[in-house]
Amino acid sequence: MSLPSLSLPRLIGHRGAAAYAPENTLSSLREARRRGAPWVEFDVNLSADDVPLLMHDARLTRTTGLDQPVAATSWADIERLDAGAWMGAAFAGERVPSFEMAIAALAALGLGANVEIKPSPGREAEVARAVVAMLRRLWPAHLPTPLLSSFKDAALAAARDAAPELPRAILIDELQDDWQDRAAAVAAVGVNTNGGKLTAARAAAVKAAGYKLSVYTINDPALARDLVAMGVDCVITDAPDIIAAAIG
């Protein structure tokens, strides 16, 4: 199987622009564009009735106040929740967007995307298949090909099988000796890792093996510059304007 190609920007806004607007919301996507991000990263999970939606946590508690699992809550109930008030009164009334709504916003804003498959436990393949089905159906032709990433190798394997043409990146908090075996097993073309734990030796090994290397979540300008000097291709940040100014 030939691997898909991947072209990354130097910077991606994390969960939109999470330093400035509630993560994984349409406001955050708009703020990322306003602050100069060419791409955004966000998380996609499934509601109880299989609607793909933007949510990082397996439970709704932290960003909406409803102490309930995403996987046990219907989309009708989720879409009524306030996903912005936790960050301040200015964002009260911000909703949890569906993945379809997010794609429409990306099309209007001209933003590329790193779509993180963020499944509830036991739904790895299910969420992956739902994500790739919607991308195949709705992804705008004028935008760059999206990158799929996940901490769950089973989700990436399901994405590979369902849509081998979409590029994939393994998400690993700290690279261990098995990182390349894991990447090869899901036919990944990229490695996304914790920039605070990345060593120069590991960065060099990833690049020497031919992978695109992205780091998260980098909000310190000096660290961003150091990582770029190591050969990192893309910096994922909550504050795209600050990091863009640092790395040029």
* Three-state DSSP state, 66: coil
| DSSP per-residue string spanning 110-174 | T-EEEEEE-PPTT-HHHHHHHHHHHHHHH--TTSPPPEEEES-HHHHHHHHHH-TTS-EEEEESS
How buried is residue 199: exposed, middle or buried, by Cβ count under 10 Å (0-12/13-18/19+)? exposed
Pick the catalytic residue from 14, 129, 202, 212.
Answer: 14
Q: Are 39 and 116 in contact (CB under 8 A)?
A: no
Rounded-to-integer distance, Cα 177 and Cα 52, Å: 34
Q: Are 102 and 111 in contact (CB under 8 A)?
A: no
Rounded-to-integer distance, Cα 118 and Cα 212, Å: 21
Catalytic-residue membership of 14: yes
3-state helix, strand, coil in the chain (%, to 5): 40, 20, 40
Which of 191, 196, 200, 193 shows the shortest CA–CA distance to 230?
Answer: 200
Pick the catalytic residue from 4, 9, 51, 56.
Answer: 56
Which residues carry out catalysis? 14, 56
